[in-house]
Amino acid sequence: MDPLKEVNANVVGLQNGILSLQDVATSYGRDVEDVFRSVEREKELAARNGVTLGFEPFGATTQPTEPVLAGDD
C-alpha cells in the first residue's frame, strides 16, 4: 500500500468517526497513550532547547490542511 494513501485514509476515517486514535495507533503497533506521552515529551524537549516544531498534532491551533485524496496526485 502507498504510505501517503494509508495516512490519508486514516485521517478521513478519524474525521468521519469510523476510526479512533487507538485504532490508528494499533495499526502501527503502538498504544495511543504511549503515543500521547511520546508527543508530549518531544514538545517539552523542543521547548527546553528553543526549538519551534513545524507541526502540532492532536488539536492543532491552526486550521488543518485538507488530506490528499486518491486521484489528487
pLDDT by residue (tens digit) across 34-71?
999 999 999 999 999 999 988 877 765 555 556 666 66
Sign of the Cα torsion 5, 8, 10, 12 reads: negative
Strands (DSSP E) found in 1-73: none
**Is 6 in contact with 67 (CB distance < 8 Å)?**
no
pLDDT by residue (tens digit) across 17-26?
999 999 999 9
